[in-house]
Amino acid sequence: MSAKSDALSENFIQNETEFHLGFLPTEQSHLLTATLESDFKSSTVAGVRTLQRPDRLVLEMAQKMLRSNEFAKMVDAGIQTLAEKGRIIFSGCGATGRLSILLEAMFREYAKCDPAWDADGAQSIMTGGDFALIRSVESFEDYQVFGRKQVEMAEMTSHDMLVAITEGGETSSVIGTVKEAADRGCRVFLLFNNPASLLRQKLVRCREVIDDDRVTVLDLFCGSMALAGSTRMQATTSEELIAGAFLETLVARRTGKPATDWAAEFAKLLDHLESDDVVQSIADAIDFEEGVYRDRGRVTYYAKSYLLDLFTDTTERSPTFMLPPFKIASIPDAPESWAFVKNPTADAATVWREMLCREPRCLEWTYADYVKMNAAPQILANVPKIGVKNLLEMPVGNEKVPARYDREADVSVLVMLDRAPDNVDLVAAAPKCQHRIVISSGCADSPMHLMDHLAVKLYLNTLSTGTMVKFGRVSGNWMSYVSVSNKKLIDRAIRLIAELGKISYEESCRALFASIEELAAMPVSQELPSPVQYTLKKFRK
């Protein structure tokens, strides 16, 4: 261990206690999936059914929340906001930031079909901007000031409404958006997935917003994640369900149509996804994709209507399972991502506009901006390239990318919703796909297509998680190949090393920071191992 890594580890132990989050249920393992790894070894179908079990707890939460005063207050605030020509602005980071972008797109897509609605009535604030949709922007979530700055850029006023979404309830950048929006007199709602009383007791930054009379809290707690710490699972599912039901209810209220029981619809969706035929379909997709990776091949998904949902899942695979992120032009020597997403019916610029239902909205912050916001030295030393130009360099359209199919084992996969109107166009544009995934919700359609979006999310989450379990990147029901790109993930890695290595938190922390330093010296062209696995391997030696 060098003096530098020793100092960094001591600082994390002594001065970053607000990011020591092992007490949160969303950071703990779930009893319902304790046998996850062994179940997948038994059979893929058995593993899929184990992964699906905690989704029933989301249903129990929804049955209560959708009848709550807090949800009714959020709907009333949305009606008032739109009546005043204000905007409903969703904010989030990581999985919830991508969800925020999706919710905005759902609103805009519907508004295109109804002249009584203004498409600009919804907007999203993603920590790191739209670029973070395709690649995690390291450590941005640790800064409240970054969230405040993005609210300032959105020029929010007292006529606007903020719906802030954070899986654990403690993400600093999202809390920053809450504080800034409240200071500007906006209607502010905060959705999260841990007990509010626990967050309030343990974390100062959470207490500051939970106790703020200007903020309405919706506590969506529904237990731990199917994969310990992977809040892209049940936490984001519950938030997509409640926030999506909010948008659907706005449509019903404004058009005078009967309200839908969204908890009952979600129950139908779960019944459908748990049916024998669908479980077998998911298991077959897992076995197919695992086989591709075993042969050292790559997967390229082709989609159109639900491309944004697909992006959300594939982007999150990188930090969750320590896979190479989507390759960007500024790092040409980086390895190719295992999975990628394209819409073969148009060029990249057109695909971005169609997918977002607007022009891309990225951050063009300068060195001076980061200095003013007191950013960390590592950010100042390498100012992030996350502008629109960088986003548009991603070949998500019909551009030829030989690196995606230059190996015999490389494959392309069509992903379609059974009733999507543009399936014919998609099939015609990608005639040589080796595999086809057709997803259905088993529910009636709705203005915002909420159950269809949830069907795609749940199917893909199960597919990608199950594939990585079978590929050996999960220990028990822990994400043992986790990345360490922010303080929350560093803490998660420390706790995992401590548990698997049977050592103290402090010793684990020192070992992890030594490993991070060693891995940083490796060439960028190399697929780096997980710092957790790298550290554990050193202990075994």
Q: Residue 158: pLDDT band by 50, 70, 90 thresholds? A: very high
SS (H, E, C) 331-392: CCCCCCCCEEEECCCCCHHHHHHHHHCCCCCCCCCCHHHHHHCCCCHHHHHCCCCCCHHHHH
Last residue of a domain, one of 470, 502, 526: 470
**pLDDT score of 222:** 97
Average pLDDT rounded to a whole number, residues 121-146: 93
| CATH number for 67 | 3.40.50.10490
Which two tokens mark 377?
Answer: 């030295």
Residue 15 shares a structural domain with residue 81? no
Domain end among 470, 495, 513 = 470
If asked whether residues 217 and 197 sit together in one domain, one would say yes
Claim: this prediction has a pTM higher than 0.85: yes
Give the count of domains, the chain. Answer: 2
Structural domain contains residue 122: yes
The encoded tokens of residue 280 equal 């077998």
Q: pLDDT band for 322, please (50, 70, 90 cuts).
A: confident
- Mean pLDDT value across residues 32-39: 97
Reported as a single tens digit per residue, the pLDDT across 206-241 is: 999 999 999 999 999 999 999 998 999 999 999 999
Q: Is the pLDDT of residue 526 over 80?
A: no
pLDDT digits (tens, 9 = 90+) for 466-512: 999 999 999 899 888 888 888 888 998 999 899 888 999 999 999 99
- Please indicate, yes or no, whether residues 464 and 489 belong to a single structural domain of this protein: no
Whether residues 219 and 340 share a domain: the answer is: yes
Q: Would you place residue 94 in the very low, low, confident or very high pLDDT band (cuts 50, 70, 90)?
A: very high
38 in a domain, yes or no? no
Domain extent, residue 483, equals 3-29+478-540
- 362 and 511 housed in the same domain: no
> Residues 6 or more apart from 16 whose CB is under 8 A from it?
487, 491
Give the domain-ending residue among 440, 470, 500. 470
Is residue 288 pLDDT above 90, yes or no?
Answer: yes
Q: Which residues pair with 438 in a beta bridge?
A: 416
Task: For residue 308, give Cα distances in angstroms to 98, 230, 350, 353.
Answer: 9, 20, 14, 11
Q: What is the average pLDDT across 63-77?
A: 98
Assigned domain for 34 exists:
no
Any idea which of 35-39, 293-297, 521-525 has the lowest mean pLDDT?
A: 521-525
Supply the mean pLDDT for the chain.
94
d(CA 79, CA 450): 19
